[in-house]
Amino acid sequence: MNWEQIIVNALEASVGLQAVVFALAAIGLNVHFGYTGLLNFGQSAFLAVAAYGLAVMVSTFGLSFWVGILVGLVGAVILALLLGVPTLRLRADYLAIVTIAAAEIVRLIARSVTFADTFGGSDGRQAFAGGFYDLNPYPEGSYNIGSFGFGERAMWILTVGWTLVALSCLIVFLLMRSPWGRVLKAIREDEDAVRSLGKNVYSYKMQSLIIGGVLGSLGGFVYALGQASIQPDIFGTETTFYVYTVLILGGAARVASPVVGAMIFWVVLSLTDNILNQAIDAGYISTSIITNSQVGQVRFMLVGLALMLLMIFRPQGIFGDRKEIALDAR
Amino acid sequence: MRNKVAILLATLFAAIVCVLGLGTGTAQADGETIFGFLFEGTGPDRVNYDGVDVTVSGPSGFEETATSDADGRWDIPVPGEGTYTVALDQETLPEGVTLRNQDLESLDVVVAFGQNKPVLFPLGEGTRNVASRWDEAAQLTAEGLRFGLIIALAAVGLSLIFGTTGLTNFAHGELVTLGGLLTYWLNSGNLPRFLPDGPQIPFIAAAAIALVLCGLLGWANDAGLWAPLRRRGTGLIAAMIVSIGLSILVRYIYLYLFGGTNQSYRSYQGQVGLDVGPITLASKDYISMGIAIVVLMATAYALLRTRLGKATRAVADNPALAAASGIDVDHVIKVVWIAGSVLAGLSGVLLGLAQGVNFQMGFQILLLIFAAVTLGGLGTAFGALLGSLVVGMFISVSTLWIPIELKNVGALGILIVVLLVRPQGILGRAQRVG
């Protein structure tokens, strides 16, 4: 067992690409679920629309990087409108079912053979990140402290990613202490009361859906640029459920908790993956019980179990306030 | 009601007699080979197709074409282990013979060191010469009906559980999978990991045992998890997220136990299609449709006419009022969980018969079940039935116009459109929200 390697991997996971992506997605979801009480189960679709908007504009149509970013952002806004118009007047569970259906529609269209010329089918899109890495200010080389560290490309995407995380947190912080944010929280607590005070609840919910969607879509950009390739199946429903786990782990309706939730989530996954893999390699665990290729399954079981136990025993997560989690909002 | 369902099932399954197996040959050659047979039907009905071109292409520009001989056999030696693409040239098939699944015109296969790799292209539907569009529509409607009935079995249970407890159960798909997996394990004798091989139980008995186990696990699911949560006063949305966690946990336990492959039951593979008018389906399909219809009608009868069924509808309508009028709400919920799990399990058994068994078969249709329930109106059992038939038919018939891989997109899209114009669903009651 190489403990140094295990710890270095865990440290890298705590600030790595996945942590950034899930932090951004969860910050967006926090606006929906934590502050407004909207059950959006299609957060992965916002990531997909952004990632594909960028990748398709650059690699299929040969347009510039910035056009791709713009198309991705506009796509996220349009998706929020499409999701919101039919469902925001209905009970909360309808929004849940429609958003999860919409996310599957996005994924199925992206991976279909019919549109493979545009979206690349199940192979997805590659070779679109050049414009982004041309802006890289880090000189070539590796930036290490001991064996912990990243290459110049990872340094650049992580710098941009964590800057976006910080800005998003700031935006959410400022929004939620404004009168507008108080209306959102009031909607979460009692929609009818807010309506009787003369507020247009539908419009506020729609604004929340758009803002949360756009914040989540930043995660899609960061993922696409960090991996320099995208495949449709990474934007499946399981991604959305991961984001929920991250959010609930940190504690919904807190500004920084999605960030902490994402870091802890990926550290725990990295630790279990690495420890199990090394224990199998070293023969501490017999391959008749579990093989290296099955370690990934244990990860999913852990996520499922964690989501259940958190929701049953500590729905406010690590930092949340139980009073703030209006889980029976309609 | 459960007893009735079980007896009905046992008798109907007993009516199934046709057991046919697919034969595969073996090849003797030096080095690695990819080979296969092109034929349709089995036993005395078997027709071999000769003169059909099959092309294998692989790494470093390897490409070779072979033509099938009088036995329908083709052989292509390949240079070594690796991944190869095997493509059938449909132009060379005899008139009126088509691939049963148009998506499988070319297959990627992995050839191991020294392996003679068999590759089969299932041919079929060619017994009917050049189908007209109306015939095709009739065929697709029948297939849609079959799929809709399978969804309906799961959807009715989901809808009843939602109606009586308010729980949107994302783990319902895992109950569907459970029915398929248990039947496969019992039928094939390949018990899950750590267990020795068991006896090969005949399909009907295996399915019956599986359904009893599904009922037991449904009861355990409620008694062990959901009933305590209800007593704690856990909110509905919290419970829904718990069910998502449960769904992920159980699905990956299935994957761990069952593996990632697609398996078939030991019986009823490769049945010859039976023609009824323009429709060609295997006899197992007709029988599974019959079983589904009988079970659904029995459920409807139980809901409408029996004391317990009326109590169930009363609880679904207003639990507090039902409790006040002397109905034992906890008992009703227990029965609904057991019956709902058995129905879901039966859905899984039949789905496995139609398309094979894998660890996420239930999860794959979960969204369609939700679409069906929502279309029909949340919490209404008959709405769920109607919604399922609409979804099943729509998915199947829409492939006349839209590419087959986008068929679920159409069904999910129609869900959103219906919610726009009739938010309460087809049979739901309009409810004022805001």
Instruction: Take residue A123 and report the two structure tokens written for it.
Output: 């192979």
Query: Which one is the CATH code of B32-119: 3.40.50.2300, 2.60.40.10, 3.30.497.10, 3.90.199.10?
Result: 2.60.40.10
Q: What domains are there in chain A, each with its CATH number? A: 3-324 (1.10.3470)
Cα A259 to Cα A26: distance, rounded to the nearest angstrom: 8
pLDDT for B339 equals: 95
Please report the residues numbered 28 through 57 in chain A whose beta carbons come closer than 8 angstroms to any beta carbon of chain B: 39
* Nearest chain A Cα distance for residue B415, angstroms: 8
Smallest CA–CA distance from B259 into chain A, residue:
A294
Q: Answer yes or no: do B370 and A195 touch at CB < 8 A.
A: no
pLDDT for position A182: 94
Q: What pLDDT, on the 0 to 100 scale, is given for residue B50?
A: 81
Q: Which residues of B touch A236 (CB under 8 A)?
A: none
Alpha-carbon gap: B280 to the closest alpha carbon of chain A (Å): 28
Return the pLDDT at B60: 65
Length of chain B: 434
Query: Which DSSP symbol is given to A31?
Result: I
Is the Cβ of B430 closer than 8 Å to some Cβ of chain A?
no
Question: B252–A113: do the CB atoms touch at under 8 Å?
Answer: no
DSSP single-letter state for residue B398: G
CB atoms within 10 A of CB A199: 15
**B420 touches A at CB < 8 Å:** yes
Interface touch A86/B367, C-beta < 8 Å: no
Asked if A114 lies within 8 A of B403 by C-beta distance, the reply is: yes
* Shortest alpha-carbon distance between residue A280 and chain B (Å): 16
**Per-residue pLDDT tens digits for A6-42:** 999 999 999 999 999 999 999 999 999 999 989 999 9
Q: Answer whether A92 touches B (CB < 8 Å).
A: yes
**Chain A residues lying within 8 Å of B229, measured CB to CB:** 312
B112 contacts chain A (CB < 8 A):
no
Cross-chain Cβ contact A97/B374 below 8 Å = yes
Which residues from B are below 8 Å from A86, CB to CB?
416, 419-420, 423
Q: CA-to-CA distance for B46 and A322, rounded, in angstroms?
A: 68
pLDDT of A52 higher than 70: yes
Residue B114 confidence (pLDDT): 62
Q: Find the range with the poorest average confidence among A50-59, A185-194, B88-97.
A: B88-97
pLDDT number for residue B35: 81
> Most B CBs within 10 Å: which of A41, A93, A119, A303, as the mutation test of the B interface?
A93
Residue contact B256–A305, C-beta within 8 A: no
Give the residue-averaged pLDDT of A147-170: 94
- Going from the C-alpha of A218 to that of each of A28, A222, B346, the distances in angstroms are 9, 6, 44
Per DSSP, helices labelled H in chain A are 3-15, 17-29, 43-55, 65-87, 92-111, 116-119, 130-133, 152-176, 179-189, 191-196, 201-227, 237-250, 257-281, 295-313
Q: Are A80 and A31 in contact (CB under 8 A)?
A: no
Burial of A130 per CB tally in 10 Å (0-12, 13-18, 19+): exposed
% residues pLDDT > 90 (chain A): 65
Q: How far apart are CA B167 and CA B238, in angstroms?
A: 10
8 Å CB contact between A266 and A249? no
Q: Is B371 on the interface with A (CB under 8 A)?
A: yes
User: Would you kindly state where each structural domain of chain B is located, as residue ranges?
Assistant: 32-119, 134-421
Residue A233 · residue A296 · CB < 8 Å: no
Question: Which position has the higher pLDDT, A179 or B86?
Answer: A179
Å from A139 to nearest chain B CA? 38
Contact check, Cβ <8 Å, A92/B237: yes
Task: Check residue A246 and give its pLDDT.
Answer: 94
Q: How confident is the model at residue A155 (pLDDT cuts 50, 70, 90)?
A: very high
Which residues of B fall within a CB distance of 8 Å from A301? 248-249, 252-253, 256
User: To the nearest whole angstrom, how far is the Cα of B315 from the nearest Cα of chain A?
Assistant: 20
The domains spanning B32-119 and B134-421 adopt the same CATH topology: no
Q: What angle do CA B43, B49, B55 make, to 5 degrees?
A: 125
B residues 164-203 lying closer than 8 A (beta carbon) to A:
168
Judging by DSSP bridges, how do beta strands B116-118 and B32-37 pair with one another? parallel
Chain A to chain B Cβ contacts (< 8 Å):
137
CATH classification for the domain delimited by B134-421, as one of 1.10.3470, 3.30.450, 2.40.160, 2.60.40: 1.10.3470
In sign, the C-alpha dihedral spanning A250, A254, A255, A256 is negative
Q: Cα Rg for chain A, rounded, in angstroms?
A: 20
Query: Who among B374, B405, B420 is closest to A113 (CB)?
Result: B405
Test the A interface: residue of B401, B402, B405 with most A CBs within 10 Å: B405
Distant-in-sequence, close-in-space partners of B165: CB < 8 Å, separation ≥ 6: B226, B230, B333, B336
Beta-bridge partners for B304:
none
The secondary structure element, H or E, covering residue A169 is helix A152-176
Instruction: Report pTM.
Output: 0.80
Contact B423 A301 (CB under 8 A): no
User: Minimal Cα distance from A85: which residue of B?
Assistant: B420
CB contact under 8 A, A90 and B423: yes
Question: Is the Cβ pair B433, A87 closer than 8 Å?
Answer: no
- B240 to A96: CB separation less than 8 angstroms, yes or no: yes
Do residues B100 and B122 touch, judged by C-beta distance below 8 A?
yes
Residues with Cβ within 8 Å of residue A172, at least 6 apart in sequence: A27, A30, A31, A215, A255
Nearest residue in A to B245, CA atom: A304
Q: What is the pLDDT, as a whole number, of residue B103?
A: 65
Each residue's pLDDT tens digit, A243-257: 999 999 998 889 999
Nearest to A106 by CA among B315, B220, B367: B367
CB B247 within 8 A of CB B174: yes
Task: Tell me the chain A residues in contact with residue B420 when contact means C-beta distances shorter than 8 Å.
Answer: 85-86
What residues in B contact A112, CB-CB < 8 Å? 403, 405-406, 409
Substitution target from B241, B250, B414 for chain A, most A beta carbons within 10 A: B241
Contact between B249 and B359 (Cβ < 8 Å):
no
pLDDT tens digit string along A274-311? Answer: 999 999 988 888 888 888 888 888 888 999 999 999 98
Count Cα atoms within 13 angstroms, Cβ side, for A119: 21
Nearest-Cα residue of chain A relative to residue B374? A94
Task: Output the pLDDT for position B125.
Answer: 55
Q: Do A105 and B413 touch (CB under 8 A)?
A: yes
Q: Counting beta carbons within 10 angstroms of the beta carbon of residue A288, is it exposed (0 to 12), middle (13 to 18) or buried (19 or more)?
A: exposed
Residue of A nearest to B415 (CA): A98
Query: What string of pLDDT tens digits covers the 434 residues of chain B?
Result: 444 444 444 433 333 322 222 222 333 334 678 888 787 766 666 777 888 888 888 766 778 888 888 778 888 888 777 778 888 887 788 777 777 766 667 777 777 666 677 777 777 654 444 567 788 888 899 999 999 999 999 999 999 999 899 898 999 999 999 999 999 999 988 888 778 888 889 999 999 999 999 999 999 999 999 999 999 888 888 898 899 999 999 999 999 999 888 888 887 766 667 777 778 788 888 999 999 999 999 999 999 999 999 999 899 888 889 999 999 999 999 999 999 999 999 999 999 998 889 999 999 899 999 989 888 877 778 888 999 999 999 999 988 888 888 888 988 888 888 877 777 777 777 655 43
Q: Which of A233, A301, A303 to mutate to test the interface with B (most CBs of B within 10 A)?
A: A301
CB atoms A113 and B245 under 8 Å: no
Interface test with B, best of A104, A307, A316 (most B CBs within 10 A): A307
Exposed e or buried b per residue across B364-402, where buried means at least 16 C-beta atoms within 10 angstroms of its C-beta? ebbbbbbbbbbbbbbbbbbbbbbbbbbbbbbbbbbbeee
Please write the tens of the pLDDT for every residue from B1-20.
Answer: 444 444 444 433 333 322 22
Average pLDDT of chain A to the nearest whole number: 91
**Would you state the pLDDT for residue B29?**
35
